Structure 1
């Protein structure tokens, strides 16, 4: 009998309508899967962009006030970097790739971008915070993304990740990344979720950072 090896499920993918010349890798929040965000991305898709929404990052207690899972966060970041490397092999350079995520996924996208040696096209950080923040800016010393453009979005009525965490994250990011490149948008009445205005802002950011080549 062969032993069963658990492999990660394949990500949910929204393929480009024509040849993919850019990609968006978007990470879901805790207890979710990539499918919901793949549907959301399909609603704002650009024809030259491939959208990749991986499933399942096994991180314990990744919330702003939890004991942080240092090893789990670093391992998840390596897994995301492997997905990016695969897209580079597929012919999409890293400077045509946007990394983003919601809640836990947004936290991971920020951590990954700031510890990467390749330059990304942008980062979309929704309803999230910067994990392992005490290790920054040292952890970002060799990052290629000190000038990366960041769209950070947060609901003003978020009960799970309070707006204060988003504001503090934005201030911390300004000590690591060129402050002129950080756009922090808040949405009145929005809880720990997304809304049409936010999706419209994300679409605009994607089209600006990775226009048709």
Structure 2
């Protein structure tokens, strides 16, 4: 199968051939991923221990797509007052802490916000507030309709599989509502980075490209772009045409193959400024994370969200 991918990459570069080639590559990548079932997007290296978690509270943003969307939030403790709702506003008004920047990070299928709390706490920066929402619990078609935390339904792994368009769009609207809430609490949207892992990373990419809110950056780890055929039209009025994007992917990922990541990065480069899209791959890394990847994430956050003196 690896030879087949390489051979496909050498096909003609005219538009029709390239479209056929891309579709073949997506199908090949899907075939690899389909062998692992059910799909659970919990990084293999992440502990489930909710280190640095605090202020867990329920926020209901609405109902749609057959899912009762209830968000619970894990907030990572920072220094200088970066903790809890409205911390950014209080710090800005009082002049203390300067916590007016934020990272919202969405976990993968079957995980919770706690799953990434420890990893993000290890790279946290004192002037940044981190929020890790929990996805709602809902049946996932591909996983025999087992109920688990999921941002939207996943119906199949084939390139021709129907996508949960309503669920994806509904989830994106809820993320936008969360960003609006943070803006009301005093953190400008252009000082917010949206990111996620696997299904959460996919939702982050889609939301960033379709929102009316100008963001500071986007992080997509081991993910893909949902409803990719709706672009670039879906991003026609996006204020994020120049947003900086970091995509990271394991070269040994059996669930979301590296080919998915590369094709997604190529697609994103046709939607936003290609010079602002960074794609990094990691030898030997599976559907997981690594110290080097987390350091790259840390450097990206610090570059896009520098402290304000």
Listed as ranges, the matches of 1:1-213 within 5 Å are: 8-18=70-80, 19=97, 20-56=99-135, 57-61=150-154, 65=158, 66-213=161-308
Alpha-carbon deviations, 1:152-173, whole Å to 9, x = none? 0000000000000001001101
For residues 221 and 69 of structure 2, what CA distance do their matches in structure 1 show? 28
For residues 107 and 86 of structure 1, what CA distance do their matches in structure 2 show? 22
For residues 226 and 255 of structure 2, what CA distance do their matches in structure 1 show? 15
For residues 110 and 7 of structure 1, what CA distance do their matches in structure 2 show? 20
Alpha-carbon deviations, 1:2-49, whole Å to 9, x = none? xxx967242111133113210000000000000021221111001011
Q: Given that residues 151 and 199 in structure 2 are in contact (C-alpha distance below 8 angstroms), is that contact kept between their aligned partners in structure 1?
A: no
For residues 292 and 186 of structure 2, what CA distance do their matches in structure 1 show? 32
Q: Output the aligned Cα RMSD.
A: 1.5
Q: Which runs of 4+ in 1 moved over 2 A?
A: 62-67
Report deviation, 1:98. Answer: 0.1
For residues 191 and 124 of structure 2, what CA distance do their matches in structure 1 show? 15
2:246 is paired with a residue whose SS is strand
For residues 156 and 259 of structure 2, what CA distance do their matches in structure 1 show? 14
For residues 74 and 34 of structure 1, what CA distance do their matches in structure 2 show? 21
For residues 131 and 266 of structure 2, what CA distance do their matches in structure 1 show? 29
Taking structure 1 as the reference length, what is the TM-score of the superposition?
0.94
Q: Given that residues 101 and 109 in structure 1 are in contact (C-alpha distance below 8 angstroms), is that contact kept between their aligned partners in structure 2?
A: yes
Q: Rg bigger for which structure?
A: 2
| Residues 172 and 41 (structure 1), Cα distance of their counterparts in 2 relative to 1, 3 Å cut | same
Report deviation, 1:64. Answer: 5.5
